[in-house]
Chains A and B, each alone.
Chain A
């Protein structure tokens, strides 16, 4: 089994390291020195696991050889150029997207006719440097068929991921899970980004809790209009996550604090566009969409 992990941020590094324990893994990086460091030192995981593996890495997709599976794990904002670099390669491979929000599958599909799987991941970590990632939350990755694939294909990739030591689950239809996470992210990540609060008790009570509840309700109305039956209630996901014991800093808040572009377009942007398409009013998400984009503009 040969796997290419495209994108070596936190999520890509966690996939690459764990899969390298059960498969032959090559990593596509954005920066050449990142690839060099991985080739020289391997990839180290700490936190919920503790091991170091050898991986082959390159910043040039033409040097990675063939693959049975390509896991696209870059940030949403890097997706288009990364997908373009895959064009014409990896014939016979199945390609799996893992980005937040909606629409990553369409971006990749436009660059080749690979069979596609769609995934959302709830695991989290902290990237300490180019060759060291800490595995923090061991929550699952959910996988479903998207184009030219079946639930059996989704299950075989989930089984591969599980055998590497991560949690994964396959679904006949990913959309109910994907939309649950979309509404959760569109709500929690934006509120955290604008307030500077980690995802803690403030999100489940008082005035901020009311706002979070209002945002979730708007999201649920859009899902209903789009014909999606949510797998989990995003409000329950929110309350549950605030009781986990340690307060998580959503990646969008970390992006803003580091003055990086955020994933607002794939997350809230997707939800607002779906709302427009289905004719559902989403004044709160529209407000937060404008505010987060403006916050990005304040430092770019």
Chain B
């Protein structure tokens, strides 16, 4: 089986390096960073932290170099989905493509270029330390399921989930993967921008009662939008928020959006709170708090270009 990871940042690297441990899987990686690609080809892709692994795989910055693949795993930031899948779609004419990205709208963007799409959500996290070397911060589960408008056959979803699980990335194949996806979207949309706007870590956001109430207000709007689509959340996002606030979990964690804001990088706000607002409008569910937070973070981005 041949699998290509599209966007080999922190999360993409966790999949690529672990899958490369399997004898029956040939792993490719597509990434726009020339330094990262060169380092992977020269020395392998190294993970440190929650697991220490070196994956031998082929990396390229040129989507045209990719051989035909059975599976793609898209792991770019949400704003790069369209360009990344456009550059690599030729390799997936006979295959299926899964997203393990944050936010809403990635499946739709992939389906514009690929016929068989897998909806996915993943919880492991890390960060790039240097080209070819990724810090694995948190282990976690992944859920995959057919993307309803352009679905991959369920047997194929199961085959990819099985490979990931055997590689040390526990993955479940389910018929409706929207529940976990919306739980994570609601979690991210309700906490990441609050950290980004205030400069506080996740734990410090949660220990301020007025701010925690705001987080719950955002969660409630997200839940209403999920319910309006008939989506049953697999668990309450509130539980995930409180769990993450524990000192031994992620109390001192700066949300990736806060890291983006501090580095003046464009954030994923359009695909998180922006996605919730858009879907809310389609279903006549008001989302005034998500809309306010979306506008404020866009304002932060605008302040850099003045």
Contacts and interface: CB of A to CB of B under 8 A. Distances in A.
B128 interface: no
Contacts of A200: 306
A191 B299 CA distance: 9
B34 interface: no
A283 interface: yes
B303 A294 contact: no
Contacts of A291: 194, 197-198, 211, 214, 296
Contacts of B208: 290, 293-294, 297
Interface stretch (A58-66, A105-113, A204-212): A204-212
B294 interface: yes
A293 B194 CA distance: 12
A116 B299 CA distance: 41
Contacts of A146: none
B21 interface: no
Nearest to A256: B199
Contacts of A197: 299, 302-303, 306
A290 B291 contact: no
Interface string B198-216: 1110001100101101100
Contacts of A288: 292
Nearest to A292: B198
A238 B220 CA distance: 31
B168 to A, nearest CB: 37
A202 B289 contact: no
A295 B198 CA distance: 4
B303 A196 contact: yes
Interface string A265-300: 000000000000000000110111111011101110
B80 to A, nearest CB: 22
A290 B211 contact: yes
A207 B288 contact: no
A214 interface: yes
A232 B63 CA distance: 59
Contacts of B299: 191, 194-197, 202, 208
B200 A290 contact: no
B289 A287 contact: yes
A202 B302 contact: yes
A290 B300 contact: no
Contacts of A283: 217, 288-289
Interface string A115-153: 000000000000000000000000000000000000000
B292 A211 contact: yes
Contact of B211 (A208, A211, A294): A294
B22 interface: no
Contacts of A210: 291, 295
Contacts of B217: 283, 287
B214 A196 contact: no
Nearest to B208: A294
A294 B205 CA distance: 8
Interface string B259-301: 0000000000000000000000000000011011111101110
A214 B288 CA distance: 9
B288 A290 contact: no
A202 B214 CA distance: 24
Nearest to B212: A290
Contacts of A194: 197, 296, 299-300
Contacts of A198: 306
Contacts of A295: 197-199
A260 to B, nearest CB: 15
B39 to A, nearest CB: 35
A290 B210 contact: yes
Nearest to A200: B306
A283 B291 CA distance: 12
Contacts of A298: 198-200, 204
A13 B198 CA distance: 32
Given A290-B213, A290-B214, A298-B200, A195 B292 contact: no
B185 to A, nearest CB: 19
From B194, B198, B208, name the one whose CB has the most chain A CB atoms within 10 angstroms.
B198
A297 B200 contact: yes
Nearest to A190: B296
A208 B298 contact: yes
A275 to B, nearest CB: 14
Nearest to A215: B292
Interface of A: 191, 194-198, 200, 202, 207-208, 210-211, 214, 283-284, 286-291, 293-295, 297-299
7 contacts: A198-B306, A283-B217, A290-B213, A290-B214, A294-B211, A295-B199, A297-B198
**7 nearest A-B pairs in the assembled complex, by CB-CB distance:** A195-B299, A298-B199, A196-B303, A290-B210, A294-B198, A207-B295, A211-B295
Given A195-B299, A198-B306, A210-B291, 9 more contacts: A196-B299, A197-B306, A202-B299, A211-B295, A287-B289, A290-B211, A294-B194, A294-B205, A298-B204
Interface of B: 194, 197-200, 204-205, 208, 210-211, 213-214, 217, 288-289, 291-296, 298-300, 302-303, 306
